[in-house]
A and B are shown apart, each in its own frame.
Chain A
Amino acid sequence: MSISNKSVGRRSFLKSSVTTSGGMVLGFSWLASCRPASKEEVLAMPEQWFDINAYLKIGDNGVVTIYTPNPEFGQNVKTSMPMIVAEELDVDWKKVLVEMAPYNAELYGFQFTGGSRGIASRWEGLRKAGASARHMLKEAAAQAWQVSADEIKTTEGVLTHEGSGNSATYGEMAAAAAQIPVPEEVELKEVSEFKIIGHSKKNVDGKDIVTGKPLFALDHQAEGMLISMIVQPPAFGLRLKSISNADAVKAMPGIKDVFSIKTYSEGQEKGGFDTNAFPELVAVVGNSTWEVMQAKKALKAEWEPFAAYSETINGWRGSSTVNIPAGLENTTDHKAQMEALAAKPGNVVRRDGNPEEAFENAANVIERTYSAPYLAHNCMEPVNSFAQVKDGKVFIAGPLQAPGMIEPIISARLGIPVEDIDIEMTRMGGGFGRRAYSHYMVEAALIAQHVDAPIKLMYTREDDMTNGIYRPTYQATYRAALDENNNLLAIHVKAGGVPESPLFANRFPAGAIENYLAEEWSIESNITIGAFRAPRSNFMAGAEQSFLDELAETMGQDPIQFRLDLLKRAIENPVGERNDYDAERYTGVLELVKEKSGWGQGDAELHRGVSAYFCHNSYAAHVLDLSIKNGMPVVEKVTCALDCGIVVNPDAAVNMAEGGIVDGVGNAFFGEMTFVDGMPQKNNFHQYRMIRMGEAPKKIEVHFVQNEIDPTGLGEPPFPPIFGAVANAMYRATGTRHYRQPFLKDQRLLG
Chain B
Amino acid sequence: MATLTLNINGERRQIDVDPATPLLWVLRDNLQLVGTKYGCGIAQCGACTVHLDKVAVRSCTLPVSAVGDKSIITIEGLSENGDHPVQKAWLEHDVPQCGYCQAGQIMSAAALLKENSKPSDEDIDAAMNGNICRCGTYTRIKAAIKTAAEMR
Contacts and interface: CB of A to CB of B under 8 A. Distances in A.
A290 B18 contact: yes
Contact of A659 (B45, B75, B135): B135
B59 interface: no
Given A684-B44, A693-B142, A750-B129, A73 B34 contact: no
Contact of B136 (A288, A291, A660): A660
B139 A699 contact: yes
A214 B81 CA distance: 16
B121 A698 contact: yes
A380 B94 contact: no
B98 A221 contact: no
A290 B136 contact: no
B90 to A, nearest CB: 5
Contact of B99 (A34, A202, A429): A429
Interface string A456-476: 001011000000000000000
Interface stretch (A119-127, A485-493, A648-656): A648-656
A289 B25 contact: yes
Give the size category of B's interface with A: 35 or more
A209 B133 CA distance: 14
Contacts of A428: 98
Nearest to A690: B132
Nearest to A212: B35
B132 A692 contact: yes
A648 to B, nearest CB: 14
Interface in A685-725: 685-686, 690-694, 696-700
Contacts of B29: 227, 288-290
A382 B39 CA distance: 7
Interface in A167-216: 200, 202-203, 205-207, 209-216
A210 B87 contact: yes
Residue picked from B82, B126, B130, most chain A C-beta under 10 Å: B82
Contact of A460 (B41, B99, B136): B41
B21 interface: yes
B87 A211 contact: yes
A516 B129 CA distance: 46
Nearest to B93: A34
B139 A662 contact: yes
Interface in B115-152: 121, 124-126, 128-142
A193 B18 CA distance: 62
Contact of B100 (A211, A380, A661): A380
A36 interface: yes
B76 A211 contact: yes
B58 to A, nearest CB: 12
A41 to B, nearest CB: 12
Contact of A690 (B20, B34, B134): B134
Nearest to B107: A212
Contacts of B137: 655, 658-659, 662
A227 to B, nearest CB: 8
A461 B98 contact: no
B5 to A, nearest CB: 19
A401 interface: no
B82 A656 contact: no
Residue picked from A35, A200, A380, A696, most chain B C-beta under 10 Å: A380
A633 to B, nearest CB: 15
A663 interface: yes
Contacts of A618: none
B42 A684 contact: yes
B136 A693 contact: no
Given A202-B91, A662-B138, A290 B102 contact: no
A430 interface: yes
Interface in A56-79: 72-76
A668 to B, nearest CB: 13
Given A212-B103, A290-B18, A697-B139, A35 B132 contact: no
A227 B34 CA distance: 15
A691 B90 CA distance: 21
A580 interface: no
B94 to A, nearest CB: 5
B136 A666 contact: yes
Contacts of A291: 18
A211 B40 contact: no
A206 B94 contact: yes
Given A206-B91, A686-B42, A380 B76 contact: no
B106 A691 contact: no
B26 to A, nearest CB: 8
Interface in A211-268: 211-216, 218-219, 221, 227, 253
Interface of A: 34-36, 72-76, 200, 202-203, 205-207, 209-216, 218-219, 221, 227, 253, 288-291, 293, 378-382, 427-432, 458, 460-461, 651-652, 655-656, 658-663, 666, 684-686, 690-694, 696-700, 750-751
Given A34-B88, A219-B34, 17 more contacts: A74-B96, A75-B97, A203-B94, A203-B96, A205-B96, A209-B102, A218-B38, A221-B34, A227-B29, A289-B25, A290-B29, A380-B98, A655-B94, A658-B136, A662-B137, A692-B128, A698-B121
- Sorted nearest first, the 8 A-B pairs with minimum C-beta distance are A212-B35, A662-B136, A429-B100, A74-B98, A212-B75, A74-B97, A696-B138, A209-B99
